[in-house]
Amino acid sequence: MAVISTPATLERAVPVMDNAEVLRIRNDFPVLNQVVNGQPLVYLDSGATSQNPVSVIEAEQEFYEQRNAAVHRGAHHLAVEATEVFEDARQTIADFIGADYAETIWTSNATEGLNLLSYALSNAGLWAAQGRGDQALRGLALRPGDEIVVTEMEHHANLIPWQELAFRTGATLRYIPIADDGSLRMDQAGAIVGPRTKVLAFTHASNVLGIINPVKELTDLGHAAGALVVLDACQSAPHLSLDVKELDVDFAVFSGHKMLAPTGIGVLYGRQELLDILPPFLTGGSMITTVTMERAEYLPAPQRFEAGTQRISQAVAMAAAANYLTETGLDRIHVWEAGLGQRMVAGLEAIPGVRVLGPAAGKERIGLAAFDVEGVHAHDVGQFLDSRGIAVRVGHHCAQPLHRRLGLTATTRASAYLYNTTDDVDRFLEAVAGVRAYFRA
C-alpha cells in the first residue's frame, strides 16, 4: 500500500482481533508457556527478537529430517528437493512484500543487507574507475562532493554502513533532524535532500520512537533528486502490510528474527535493473557464470549476491513465518498492536516520573514504547520488571545519536506482537508504576 492506513481506518476494513483469539495464537508459541521468577512470562521484547510458532520450528526441523542437501549443485533427489523448497521460500517472501522473485536476496539479517548494498556501491566506483561496467553502473558510483542522507533516528545498522561508504568514497554524510516529539523535520528535508544526494536511507518505523515515517513523501523527495532510496523495514515488515512497489523504494531490508522466523536469515529487496548492474559484495561459488584464472563473470540477481552455501533451512522457516503472518492477517495484526501501543503509552504517561519517547497517546505508532524513569537507570528498570516475569529491552537500542538528541543515554523499551494481550500490557504498567518507589527515586 502506498500510504499506511491508520488503525481507525483499518478497523472498518478487517475483523478485529481480541484477547480470546490472541490467547489461542499464544498456544502456538511454546516458549511463552513458562514461568519466570515465579510469574507467568510476559514477553515484551519482540522489537529485538520475536518468538517462533510451532509451524516455523517444524518447517526447519522437517527440512533437516527430509531434504537436507546443498542447493543448486546436485542432480540427486535430495539436492533437487532442497533447491525447490529453497526457491519456493524466496517466492513466498517476494509475494509477502510485493516484490518479484529475482529481486529478493537472502542475507543473514538486515545489517548484512545494508552492508552488502553499501559495499556494492563502493565496488561500483572501483569498477567504473577501471572501465568495467556500462554507463548505468558509472551513474551509481559515489565520488567526493556526492552526499548520502539518513535521519537522526536511524538504528546503527542504517547509519554506520553509510558512514563507512562516505569514508571510502569521499562523499559527505548528512541527516534529516528530528523535532522534540521525535517526528522528522520534513520542513528541512527538502533543503537537505538535493542534487548532490546519491543515497537517501531511512527507517520505515523507528525502533525507539515507534513513529511511522512518511515513506512515500520521502521516496518522492529522494527520486526527485535522482537518489537511490533505501528503506529499513525491520520494524514494519513484521507488523504492517508492506508493498515495496507501491512504496516505490529502490531497496529495502528486513530480518527474519523479528517476524517469527529463526535468527541468521534476512532479506534485501532491490529493483531488478539495479541489482543486475551492481557489482557483487561477496564472491565465490554459486554466483558465477564463467571463471578463468584471470577473471570471472557473474550471474544476474538473485544468485549474484548469494555466494557460497546459503541459509537454506532458515529461508524455509522464514517462508513459514511469512505464511503464518499472512494467514493471521497483517492488517489485523497492525490494528491489534496499535491498540496495545496506545494502551502502553497512555498508561506510561499517567505514571509520575515517566517520560515516553515518540508520539503522545492518541497519535499513530507501532506497538512499542521506549521510556525513561526519572532517577532510575534503564538497566535497573529492566531487572525490576524481569523479577516480575516481564521481559523488556534496555539500553540505547542501537540508536545512540537519537538518544543523545533527546538528552538520554538509555531507555527501557516494551514492544508487543500478535501474541500479546491487554493483560500483558496491564501487568507491565502495574510493574512500572512501582519502580520509583522500589528504588526510592
Specify the DSSP element, H or E, that contains 324. Answer: helix 312-328
Specify the DSSP element, H or E, that contains 255. Answer: strand 251-255
Task: Evaluate if pTM is beyond 0.85.
Answer: yes
Q: Which amino acid would we find at residue 375?
A: G
Task: Name the residue ranges covered by the structural domains of the chain.
Answer: 7-51+330-438, 57-326
d(CA 175, CA 200): 9
Asked if 302 and 94 count as a contact pair (C-beta separation under 8 A), the reply is: no
Going by C-alpha positions, the residue among 389, 353, 385, 349 that lies closest to residue 365 is 349
| Cα–chain center distance at 379 | 24
Going by C-alpha positions, the residue among 206, 214, 218, 157 that lies closest to residue 182 is 206
Active-site option among 398, 401, 422, 439: 398
- Cell 504492517 found at: 240
d(CA 290, CA 281): 17
Q: What's the pLDDT score for residue 1? A: 29
Per the structure block, which three cell numbers stand in for 172? Answer: 559527505
User: What pairs with residue 288 in β-bridges?
Assistant: 298
Superfamily classification of domain 7-51+330-438 = Aspartate Aminotransferase, domain 1 (3.90.1150.10)
Which residues are within 8 A (CB) of 386 and not within 5 positions of it... i.e. 6 or more apart?
A: 36, 37, 392
Please, what CATH class does the domain formed by 57-326 belong to? alpha beta
Q: What's the pLDDT score for residue 195? A: 97
The CB density around residue 24, as the number of other CB atoms within 10 Å, is 10
Going by C-alpha positions, the residue among 207, 218, 215 that lies closest to residue 366 is 207
> What does the pLDDT profile of the chain (441 residues) look like in tens digits?
233 334 555 555 678 999 999 999 999 999 999 999 999 999 999 999 999 999 999 999 999 999 999 998 788 999 999 999 999 999 999 999 999 999 999 999 999 999 999 999 999 999 999 988 888 899 999 999 999 999 999 999 999 999 999 999 999 999 999 999 999 999 999 999 999 999 999 999 999 999 999 999 999 999 999 999 999 999 999 999 999 999 999 999 999 999 999 999 999 999 999 999 999 999 999 999 999 999 999 999 999 999 999 999 999 999 999 999 999 999 999 999 999 999 999 999 999 999 999 999 999 999 999 999 999 999 999 999 999 999 999 999 999 999 999 999 999 999 999 999 999 999 999 999 999 999 998
d(CA 313, CA 70): 11
Q: Helices 110-129 & 160-169, crossing angle to 10 degrees?
A: 10
Beta strand spans in 333-389 (E): 354-356, 368-373
**234 counts as catalytic:** no
Q: Helices 54-66 & 312-328, crossing angle to 10 degrees?
A: 150
